[in-house]
Amino acid sequence: MPGFELFGSAERKEVHDVLETGVLMRYGFDGMRNSHWKAKELESELSNVLQSDYVQLVSSGTAAVSVALAAAGVGAGDEVIMPTFTFVASFEAIMMLGAIPVLVDIDDTLALSPKAVEEAITPKTKAIMIVQMCGSMGDMSALQDISKRHDLLLIEDACQAIGGSYQGKPLGSIGDLGCFSFDFVKTVTCGEGGAVITSNKNYYTHADHYSDHGHDHIGLDRGVETHPFLGYNFRISELHAAVGLAQVRRLPEFLSIQKANHNILRTALSEIPEVTFRTVPDGGVESYAFLSFFLPDLELARKASKSLKEAGVDGCFHYYDNNWHYVRKWEHLKELKSLYPIAAEVKTGLEYLKTKTFVKSDHYIGRNISCLIKLSWTEAEVKERAKKMVKAIKDTLIVA
């Protein structure tokens, strides 16, 4: 990732189709659109790729999470369990619905710890949301088991994991609903966009209506269609869908490049005894969008991250010190810095964050470095990079 590195004639052709007709809206305008339905085509491609009965495109990955939760009836005062290591979008999307994000520890998979999830369940819990950060997953079987036993929804945020799988099933298609992002840096990009996938027809119908002001989409003029329930505008445009359509058709090509590049870097780092890798559960296949590894302790990880930067190795993240992806720096959430009043039950529901510590998450994220795997590197560039990484990390360990 990201897919924009390889933009070419396929993307241009799809966008050109849309500009030729001038129909930028995904619904209606049947007479004008010269049979171009880019959003519909992209939904059908994704349905094949993700082996999922229903796909609803939306305007972003963040919107996908809100729409998925809303489609399954999660709202005011409901608790949604989510990991401490993710992207700020996770709690934003939950709070937009008046629901309460309940943050719990991750484990050595860098995803939700099933044990921590089980301990966090209360009578208010409605959903467990696993986030498949950096292209890999947690113990999906254990999470499925917990969600069944407690009658909870299992939602997958697979925004960074398109192309990964678990026991033969694409990530995103395992829980009740799966969410994807096609924003400007994702493996498949269309600028801004996202998708909700599900095999539940009701959830799909809800997502379809909810993401377009509650429209029933029965094919009448928009002024005549009815609104079975309240909705919002989370639509994707035809222009964005056109780019995504070209990109998703190239996914096999992108994945094989990611895998090859990942393999070269991982093999090189395996020479260093102090370096260990993120655990991938049995039956799991990563999307290889990142290479995630551990140093022996926090200070060594900090130093290694610094030496990697100094050696000119870009795209490696020590998330412990990052503002976007880890609970430690989410002051705006902990202090509830909202532009507008927040419901009392959400305020109360988030009190725990002022004092709660996440010792296990600190242990794993503190030692972790995750490096983005790019699509545009030549083989020589990856090999050069591998050498620089090994040297930078070894130098760090020797000095220590």
Contact residues for ligand PLP, defined by CB under 6 A:
60-62, 86-87, 89, 131, 133, 157, 159-160, 181, 183, 194
Residue whose token pair is 């096609």: 182
Q: Which of 186, 374, 388, 391 is catalytic?
A: 186
- Which of 375/389 has CB closer to ligand PLP? 375
The span from the CA of 326 to the CA of 352, in Å, is 17
Residue number of the CB atom closest to ligand PLP: 61
- Which of 86/198 has CB closer to ligand PLP? 86
Query: Residue 133 Cβ, how far from ligand PLP at the closest point, in Å?
Result: 6
Maximum pairwise Cα distance, the chain: 72
- Which of 118/183 has CB closer to ligand PLP? 183
CA distances from 291 to 243, 260, 375, 386 (A): 27, 12, 13, 12
Buried (b) or exposed (e) across 321-349, using 16+ Cβ within 10 A?
Answer: eeeebbbbbbeebeeeeeeeeeeeebeeb
The span from the CA of 318 to the CA of 397, in Å, is 16
Query: Residue 65 Cβ, how far from ligand PLP at the closest point, in Å?
Result: 6
Query: Residue 195 Cβ, how far from ligand PLP at the closest point, in Å?
Result: 10
- Token pair in block for residue 146: 């917990």
The span from the CA of 26 to the CA of 236, in Å, is 7
- Omega prior to 2 cis, within 30 of 0: yes
Query: Residue 62 Cβ, how far from ligand PLP at the closest point, in Å?
Result: 3
Query: Residue 270 Cβ, how far from ligand PLP at the closest point, in Å?
Result: 27
- Which of 194/393 has CB closer to ligand PLP? 194
The secondary structure element, H or E, covering residue 156 is strand 153-157
- Catalytic annotation on 186? yes
The secondary structure element, H or E, covering residue 27 is none
- Which of 157/208 has CB closer to ligand PLP? 157
The span from the CA of 214 to the CA of 222, in Å, is 11
| 83, 131 contact by CB (below 8 A) | yes
- Show which residues are catalytic: 186
